[in-house]
Amino acid sequence: MRAPAAAMVVLVAAAARASPPEELYDPVKTIEYDLYDFSPEDQAAWEASRYAGNAARLNLGSVTLKELFAVQQLQGNLRAAPWLLFHLDVHDDRTREAEVARFSADAFFRVAPGLELAASGSPDLRKQDSALGAAALLTSPDRARYAMVRVLADRTPFEDGGARRDRIVWRAQTEARWAQGAFSGWLRADLGTPDAISYALAPASGIEATSEQRSDVDAHLRWAVGRAAAGLRVTARRLDSSRNGPRSDFSLRRGFGYLRAYLLAPILPRLQVRGVALGWAEKARGADLDGSYTFHRWDAGGRLGAVFIPQDEWKIEAGYALVHSAQRTAGAVESRIGDKIYGSAQWLPSERVRLRFLISKEIASGNFGGMNGELGVLF
């Protein structure tokens, strides 16, 4: 989660709007979250490395000519002694609905074969932005299978001038991977309690109280044999934010679930077909300058592409994605269509390095579809 000061800036900016954020209604969002994400094969390799190796991932995309989609992740597993492992995680992600920046550090002490206990935290230059806690890790001998549980007291102690936090903010985090033969499964959850802050003396902005909460769940089930693969990817997220002032209240409380079922099938020695079924469900309620509102959306669609492998170190992909979005606001139902035609080139100079460039165009609206650049390194 971001620091309270950063959260306040976002909330004040939200207060200047006279309507819900535009991305709530954009049907192309469902496509962008799939196109700009790491491919299932790259994601699976990263999942296997989480507690066995080091990795750096950078994904930068343009949603519109003025909006950036960014995922930046760095992990390290540093073995200082046979019984001591330092695990580091850096996330600086900015997607269309929210931003999260976090540095996590664990010092794992081996207490038995396959079992490690850790002192955990999120150190920060400002102590009020730090977190402290503990973790436990179970691993297989090759560390490709694992189960981790971490509990943190977030940003304790809290210091912010005349502000007062109403309660301790707790975060419960878990990550696990199982693999057997052609099958693998991965799960990660990051659940947090609300961060409620009140001000005895309202600052110049007029804010009297703020509240923020974020929880995430991601899962990936996969089957892969040779150049054929199939799987299911699930993302669920809850985001709450509010700001109370002397004249008006602003809030946005939302949750969504995103499902992708994919198939990658070879049809010729150097040609594959990729198919992805897309589903998105989202609910939101909030209050702004125009009063309170509620919003629901259900998206369904898919993506079909061809993957050409001219050489072992190159992959060229092109395809088309289409989504139908049924949206309801204040009882009124509206249908929207979003689509994209895209092309991408991926260079694989080694088994552990991936570079990709993607460009797309919206056909139905005629708008610029966006570009995306990706770098992934396992070392």
* Separation between Cα atoms, residue 194 and residue 21, nearest integer Å: 22
What is the pTM assigned to this prediction?
0.88
Amino acid symbol at 29: K
According to the model, what pLDDT value does residue 318 have?
A: 98
Is the torsion defined by CA of 258, 192, 5, 3 positive or negative?
negative
Question: What is the distance between the alpha carbons of residues 164 and 76, in angstroms, rounded to a whole number?
Answer: 35
Total number of domains in the chain: 1
**What is the residue type of 287?**
A
The CA distance from 88 to 80, in Å, is 13
In-domain check, residue 329: yes
Residue 232 in domain: yes
CATH of the domain at 25: 2.40.128
User: Tokens for 51?
Assistant: 């507690």
E strands present in 123-208: 131-139, 146-154, 163-165, 169-180, 183-192, 195-199
The answer to whether residue 122 sits within a structural domain is: no
Q: For residue 12, what pLDDT is reported?
A: 41
Whether 180 maps to a domain, the answer reads yes
156 falls within a domain: no
Which token pair is 276?
């992805």
- With beta carbons less than 8 A apart as the criterion, state whether 218 and 188 touch: yes
pLDDT at 223: 98
Q: Is 148 domain-assigned?
A: no
- Report the C-alpha gap between 97 and 2 in whole angstroms: 14
Residue 129, pLDDT score:
65
The pLDDT of residue 7 is 40
How far is it, in rounded angstroms, from Cα 72 to Cα 58? Answer: 5
Which residues make beta-bridge pairs with 265?
A: 273
CB contact at 8 A, 170 and 193: yes
Residue 132 within any structural domain of the chain = no
Query: Domain range spanning residue 306?
Result: 4-103+162-378
pLDDT of the chain, 379 residues: tens digit per residue: 444 444 433 434 433 444 678 888 999 999 999 999 999 999 999 999 999 999 999 999 887 766 788 899 999 999 999 999 999 999 888 888 877 888 889 999 999 999 999 999 887 655 556 788 999 999 999 999 999 999 998 866 666 666 777 778 899 999 999 999 999 999 999 999 988 888 776 555 677 888 889 999 999 999 999 999 999 999 999 999 888 876 667 888 999 999 999 999 999 999 999 999 999 999 999 887 777 889 999 999 999 999 999 999 999 999 999 999 999 987 788 999 999 999 999 999 998 999 999 999 999 888 888 899 999 999 9
Contact by Cβ (8 Å): 306, 34? no
Assess if residue 303 is contained within a domain.
yes
